[in-house]
Amino acid sequence: MPTFKIAIDGPAGAGKSTIAKAASKKIGFVYIDTGAMFRAVGLAALRRNIDINGDKETVEAMLGEIAIDIAHGENGQEIFLNGENVSTEIRMPEVSVAASDISKIPSVRKKLLDLQRSIAEKTDVIMDGRDIGTVVLPDAQLKIFLTASVEERAMRRYKELIEKGVECDFDEVKKDMEYRDKNDSEREIAPLKPADDGVIVDTTGNTLEESVEIILNLINERRGK
């Protein structure tokens, strides 16, 4: 019996991870945050002081030396880089920028694409990212594109970092987000855009509960429940 795949795409800070995580718990699906995988690769490059945009050959060489694993703990999905839990480190603003830059490299995308697809073939998933409905899971039974105003998205990310004890500046977070929006939308390979058969959901002004309810209604409708 084929697995049921739900793809959720959208720009940074649209609430993809939080909403997908909450929805997956409600319906018993496995939640996969693909952005965390790119962040882990970006973090690895930063730790090695690699110029991501200027030295792609070194990035490609690094890929054979790193292992990225996903586990599901008490707080949801956890991401491991060479056995180290880096779930907190990958949320830093500079890692967000590195992830956006590194996602433009074809060899990085292929490494992670193979891993993402293999997971979705084994179990029912809600997978979120930038190109899930358009590239990673084009056969997904439901494709959702989540968005919100850049001001609201930046404020959400700013509050998230502050709550984790990370010192940051709102204007800098917003600037990084605008950079990432441009980078993700204009890259040649798998640019950020809604799937032709996707459903666009704007979460601006919504509470988390309201957004989750919208997503659950779409899922139940598509599953015939």
CB-count burial class (<10 Å; 0-12, 13-18, 19+) for 181: middle
Residue 96's CB is within 10 A of a number of other CB atoms, namely 23
User: What pLDDT shows up at residue 75?
Assistant: 67
| DSSP state string for 92-135 | SHHHHHHHHHHTTSHHHHHHHHHHHHHHHTTS-EEEEESSIIII
Domain 5-220: which CATH number of 3.40.50.300, 3.60.130.10, 3.30.2350.10, 2.60.200.20: 3.40.50.300
Residue 27's CB is within 10 A of a number of other CB atoms, namely 16
pTM of the model: 0.79
- Residue listed under structure tokens 């292929």: 110
Above 80 in pLDDT, residue 160?
yes
pLDDT per position as a tens digit, 162-183? 998 888 899 999 998 998 899 8
Query: Cα separation of 15 and 146, whole Å?
Result: 7
Domain residue ranges in the chain: 5-220
CA dist 60 to 53, 98, 110, 178, 189, Å? 12, 15, 11, 27, 16
Residue 163's CB is within 10 A of a number of other CB atoms, namely 8
Top mean-pLDDT range of 6-15, 108-117, 138-147, 190-199: 138-147
Q: In what order do the strands lie in the sheet with 84-85?
A: 68-73, 76-81, 84-85
Above 90 in pLDDT, residue 10?
yes
* Section 50-58 average pLDDT: 93
